Structure 1
Amino acid sequence: MNASLRPTRTAGIRAVTAVLVVALVSGCRGTAPGADGALSAATPSASPSSPAPRTAAADRSVNSLQSDYETVIKNVLPSVVQIDAGNSLGSGIVYDDKGHIVTNAHVVGKQRTFRVTVANSEQLLAARLVSSFPEQDLAVVKLDKIPSGLKAAAFGDTAKVAVGQIVLAMGSPLGLSGSVTQGIVSAVGRTVSESASGGGTGATIANMVQTSAAINPGNSGGALVNLDSQVIGIPTLAATDPQLGNSAAPGIGFAIPASMVRTVADQIIKNGKVTDSGRAALGITGRTVLGADFQPAGVAVVSAAKGGAAQKAGIRAGDIIVKVGDTRITTITSLSEALAVAKPGQKVKLTYVRAGGTKTAEVTLGEM
């Protein structure tokens, strides 16, 4: 992917100061110059722009879809909150009736206390961090006091998410709380790496849901919802196009799947931290190295943790990893992406360079 990815919290923006600029484009039609220079009216039958009559079935279909949208919004929007983390704004989802709210780790940043606004009230509610898991860009905060009528969202089955499925994104883009956009699921199973700059965690996340629903700064931590009023993901990243000065690439956003959200949130709520990440690890510290052509050529092992997967397989500092299985490794990011789709305990063939010679080793992956 040539586009880069940015987290979608809103840095330094308050809801009351968000400014939207709208360009109005107008067009005219109806009369056209005749052969004699006079204006003559085009007949309805000759006009290529005359719309075909709508059928009763089409009207029923449109009305039904609109009704579905309105029902989903009514059901889910009360469970979507705005989170003020001091120097940034983001979104969150009410996870249970005990006041737990799940959001992105990059939304909470290093803050431990927050001000939360629920969809049906302007009252600011105090909340505190339970725990953050930057490796998956997820976090849980908890309201100090549970307001009456707080409604937990329903989470859907990730396995049933399908390309072409209609979805709605709900959150606080640009500080505009309770905003809704619509689109489809564009792809599933994406593995993407988040930038570590601009407040991002640098996480590499597997199995993300790609969507065409507009994902803008402030949508991070909100809800990507199907027409059954179920949350199928948490909007987290939006693509930017370097050729356009890193401006947004319209219609390319990514959401963490509901299954991973539940896995992480349940552990944090129960144990105060993630005890079983389900994420594979080599147990190394590494850096990208360049080849003779000054292009990225592999990952040099700076250190291998004692007892870690790499050290047990004989990998040591100075080795340069160039392949995991059949996947070519050129950068730290490509190594992270290769590991993101693997599982702890899985055996993989690692190809590496030592003292100018290419070697291989079978590695039993550890856990992040």
Structure 2
Amino acid sequence: MSRSHPSRTRLLLSGAAGVCAAALLAAGCSSDSDSGASGAPTDAPNQVAPAAAASNGGDALQSAYQDTVRNVLPSVVQITTKSDLGSGVVYDDKGDIVTNAHVVGNATTFQVSLATGGSPLAARLISSFPANDLAVIRLTSPPGDLKPAKFADSSKVSVGQIVLAMGNPLGLSSSVTQGIVSATDRTVSESSDESGGGTGATIPDLVQTSAAINPGNSGGALVDLDNEVIGIPTLAATDPQLGSGAAPGIGFAIPSSAVKRIADQIIKHGKVTDSGRAALGVTVRGVVGQNFQPAGVAVVAVAKNGAAAKAGLRAGDVITEVGGDPITTVQSLTEALTDFKPGQKVKVTFTRNGATRSVEATLGSL
């Protein structure tokens, strides 16, 4: 599931934290042993007992959690289709709501329940972009007190940062779980079957979190203690030994900067015009070798004027390497392309009629 790359690790600190650190320092400075060593009287000015300092720090952290919930939870909604439900985040005061593509599925109309209560509101699909598992829906009659969420610059997200996941797991509306950012820059492939949900997409740059992500959390908000959305939860890892069971404490969220880039295009143009992701311009299928092991991807069709067509690739070729990465499956091809940007040149190795060849392709946009 993982693979190393010079610029990323790949797979299938807040103000409150500062308060905690300050509390620990205060507790250390006012410990009984320190007081005894210095001979300072127990009623010395500005001296804080360890238990009181720890309590004050805990109270401050709890207050920060509660403040974030009060500020952001009203922006998190429940989205219901005829067959399923998920979560969404209010994007603007016009009634645009961002969610996962796998939450909307094939539906075009929805019922949206606000965290602030009231009757469900009607909404319609603006557009879906399964390649990044994102979609935007729009309320037909948005209320005047709609509260858009504030989206952070996810390039500043750091490992160890405290986060809260907000959504509607298992239909339990307006639920909140907490954890930390466990890792950044993960590349993960979603399931495409009904039990696992997802679009089957391979998504780069995901934020990994220990906050619990359960069915129904998809499309909700991963929030920092500055009251900003740093990502949209999209899936939880599964443990192969548990079958389809979720691996506890390993969830993934689409970073907020990618969410903003995609959502802004959908709202403005009704579709994604520049994904920022590289494409080769081919339709492919997996092939196996003589030992029945994955051995590459066969080109089924080549997009007219696409990167592959311009480089001379054609239907029937079997791609075995891209940019130095071995290609054995369709997923490995998708993962390899996440390392590049549109316009970059990349070496593509393939076989044609039993002979191995290489070409340089200038990548297009997904």
What TM-score do you get using the length of structure 2 for normalisation? 0.85
Give secondary structure in 2 for the equivalent of 1:251: strand
Give the corresponding residue for 1:80.
Answer: 76
State the match for 2:338 in structure 1: 340
Matched, 1:311 2:295: no
- Aligned counterparts of 1:356 and 1:102: Cα–Cα separation in 2: 48
From the superposition, tell whether residues 289 and 180 of structure 1 become closer, same or farther in structure 2 (CA, over 3 Å).
Answer: same
* Matching residue of 1:167: 163
1:110-133: CA deviations, max 9, x gaps? 111110000011411111111111
Match of 2:254 among 236, 240, 256: 256
| Residue 93 of structure 1 pairs with residue 89 of structure 2 | yes
Q: 1:56 Cα deviation (Å)?
A: 2.1
Distance 2:269 2:303 in 1: 26
Cα offset, 1:362, TM superposition: 0.6
How far 1:166 sits from its partner (Å)?
A: 0.7
Q: Secondary structure at the match of 1:64?
A: helix
CA distance in 2, matches of 1:195, 1:247: 13
What amino acid maps onto 2:216 in structure 1?
A: G
User: Equivalents in 1 of 2:222, 2:333: separation in Å?
Assistant: 29
For residue 157 of structure 1, the aligned residue among 153, 166, 181 is: 153
Deviation of residue 341 (structure 1)? 2.8
Q: Which residue of 1 aligns with 2:214?
A: 216
CA shift for structure 1 position 150? 1.1
CA distance in 1 between partners of 2:241 and 2:356 (Å): 37
Residue 288 (structure 1) aligns with = 286
Instruction: Between 211-220 and 135-144, report the one with greater CA deviation.
Output: 135-144
Give CA deviations for 1:329-348 in whole Å, capped at 9, x if unaligned.
11000101111231111101
Residue matched to 1:141: 137
Q: Distance in 2 between matches of 1:163 and 1:360?
A: 40
The 2-side partners of 1:144 and 1:137 are apart by 23
Q: Which among 310, 318, 321 is matched to residue 320 of structure 1? A: 318
- Paired residue for 2:297, among 296, 299, 303? 299
Structure 1: 4+ residue segments shifted above 3 A = none
Structure having greater relative contact order (Cα 8 Å, sep ≥ 6): 1
The equivalent residue for 1:113 is 109
- Structure 2 counterpart of 1:357: 355
Q: Show the counterpart of 2:25.
A: none
Task: Identify which of 220, 235, 243 aligns with 1:237.
Answer: 235
2: CA distance, partners of 1:245 / 1:102: 31
Q: Does 1:125 align with 2:133?
A: no
**What is the Cα deviation at residue 54 of structure 1?**
5.7
Query: Structure 2: how far apart are the matches of 1:164 and 1:358?
Result: 47
Q: 1:271 & 1:306 partners in 2: Cα distance?
A: 24
Q: Which residue of 2 aligns with 1:25?
A: none
Q: Does 1:276 align with 2:274?
A: yes
Q: Deviations over 1:5-28 (max 9, x none)?
A: 99xxxxxxxxxxxxxxxxxxxxxx
Structure 1 residues 49-88: aligned runs within 5 Å? 55-88=51-84
Q: What number of residue pairs does the alignment pair up?
A: 320
1:291-344 alpha-carbon deviations (Å, 9 max, x no partner): 222111111111212211111111111211111112111100010111123111
- Distance across 2 between alignment mates of 1:313 and 1:241: 40
Alpha-carbon shift at residue 231 of structure 1 (Å): 0.2
Deviation track 1:204-240 (CA, whole Å, cap 9, x = no partner) reads 1110101110000000000000110000000001111
For the residues of structure 2 that align with 1:57 and 1:350, how far apart are their CA atoms? 61
Q: Secondary structure in 2 aligned to 1:62?
A: helix
Amino acid in the other structure paired with 1:85 = T
Matches of 2:306 and 2:239 in 1, distance apart? Answer: 38
Secondary structure of 2:141's counterpart equals coil
Shift of 1:354: 1.9
Q: How much has 1:101 moved relative to structure 2?
A: 0.4
**Post-superposition shift, 1:202?**
1.4
Gaps of 5+ in 2: 3-10, 13-48
Q: Which residue is 2:204 aligned to? A: 206
Q: Which residue of 1 aligns with 2:188?
A: 192
Larger helix fraction of residues:
2
Tell me the distance in 2 between the aligned counterparts of 1:341 and 1:128: 34
- The residue aligned with 1:45 is none
Q: CA deviation at 1:272?
A: 1.1
Other-structure match for 2:329 = 331
Q: Which residue of 1 aligns with 2:20?
A: none
Q: Which AA in structure 1 matches 2:220?
A: G
With the length of structure 1 as denominator, give the TM-score of the two structures.
0.84
Distance 1:262 1:138 in 2: 10
